[in-house]
Amino acid sequence: MEIHISNVHKREAFRHHSYVSQRAEGVIAGFGTQGYSLALRRAAHLVTNA
């Protein structure tokens, strides 16, 4: 899971590419610190449904 507090696509162009997102289960961006809670919920779902 890749998490960004801000929406990286609204920022500088060099932030638009990520090497991590190519391998990540998903990307959460732009939800502020709430993104961490969302990522934990998704991770729990993936573990319980694996």
Domain boundaries, the chain: 2-48
End-to-end C-alpha distance for the chain, whole angstroms? 15
* pLDDT score recorded for residue 26: 94
* pLDDT score recorded for residue 31: 98
H-type alpha helices, 1-50: 34-48
Instruction: Kindly give the confidence (pLDDT) of every residue in the chain, 50 residues in length, as a single tens digit, with 9 standing for 90 and above.
Output: 999 999 999 999 998 999 999 999 999 999 999 999 999 999 999 999 98
* pLDDT score recorded for residue 50: 80
CA dist 33 to 6, 15, 22, 26, 37, Å? 9, 19, 23, 17, 8
